[in-house]
Amino acid sequence: MGKIAPSILSADFSKLGEQVEAISRAGADYVHVDVMDGHFVPNISFGSAVMKSLNRLETAPYDVHLMIENPDAYIADFVTEKTEFIVVHQEACRHLHRTVQNIKSHGIKAGVALNPATPVSTLECILDDIDLVLVMSVNPGFGGQKFIPGALEKIKELDRLRKEKDYNYVIEIDGGISLDNIKTVSDAGCDIFVAGSAVFKAENLEKRICEFKEAVPE
């Protein structure tokens, strides 16, 4: 199952509602919400108020990617009826198991993200408890960066592990995804594809979503 999660980091914020409705209408599976605090990553994006301003619109469910220090303090702010996943970074959590339980206590699916330099083995003790693993294929902080190929090995390893041990997580990739490389990542075993600039820099958003949907298996 290939799912597309356009990252609104690359949207035109002056037309955010309009654009999120357009991609959702065209079949985007999730709205990827990139939250950056200027500490965990060297950039500041937006907070929960911006995400919640989309609540009254017809949109796909939210996939919230928290690139922030101390995520526990903010998890509750991102809980809405439309929030499907909240994803925290392994590198930002001193007590990752507690943070995962915190997310789940709100009835939300819990995900953990790995920076390019963080190996899959750091999640060994938590893979059975989580719903999603997000493999970063760029260093987080900015849209429009180049795909780091080492991410493919991590996707393969995560796919192998879940088959071997019967784990239930889905695998998501984030960073530098385009129509040129999505098939290779899909073949490696990935389920959810985040794409920011490759979607929002297109002239016709709906058409671009259809192209992405066609590039991955149903």
Active-site residue list: 34, 174
- Which of 2, 71, 111, 141 is close enough to bind ligand DX5 by CB under 6 A? 141
Interaction pattern, residues 96-125, with ligand DX5; x per rule: CB under 6 A: ------------------------------
In terms of Cα–Cα distance, which of 27, 42, 18, 17 is closest to 6? Answer: 27
Closest CB to ligand DX5 among residues 71, 140: 140
- Which of 196, 205, 208, 212 is close enough to bind ligand DX5 by CB under 6 A? 196
Binds 111: which of ligand DX5, Zn ion, none (CB < 5-8 Å by kind): none
Residue 122 has phi, psi (to 5 degrees) of: -65, -15
Binds 176: which of ligand DX5, Zn ion, none (CB < 5-8 Å by kind): ligand DX5
In terms of Cα–Cα distance, which of 5, 37, 3, 35 is closest to 20? Answer: 5
Contact 109, 132 (CB under 8 A): yes
Q: Report the b/e string of 48-86 with b at 16+ CB within 10 A.
A: beebeebeeeebbbbbbbbbbbebeebbeebbbebbbbb
Smallest gap from Cβ 165 to ligand DX5, in A, equals 28
Residue 162 corresponds to which tokens in the numbers above?
A: 């879940």
Smallest gap from Cβ 169 to ligand DX5, in A, equals 18
Count, residues near ligand DX5 per rule CB under 6 A: 21
Closest CB to ligand DX5 among residues 111, 176: 176
Q: How many helices (H) and strands (E) does the chain have?
A: 7, 8
140 part of the interface to ligand DX5, by CB under 6 A = yes
Contact 67, 35 (CB under 8 A): yes
Site for ligand DX5, rule CB under 6 A: 7, 9-10, 32, 34, 65, 138, 140-141, 143-145, 174-177, 194-198
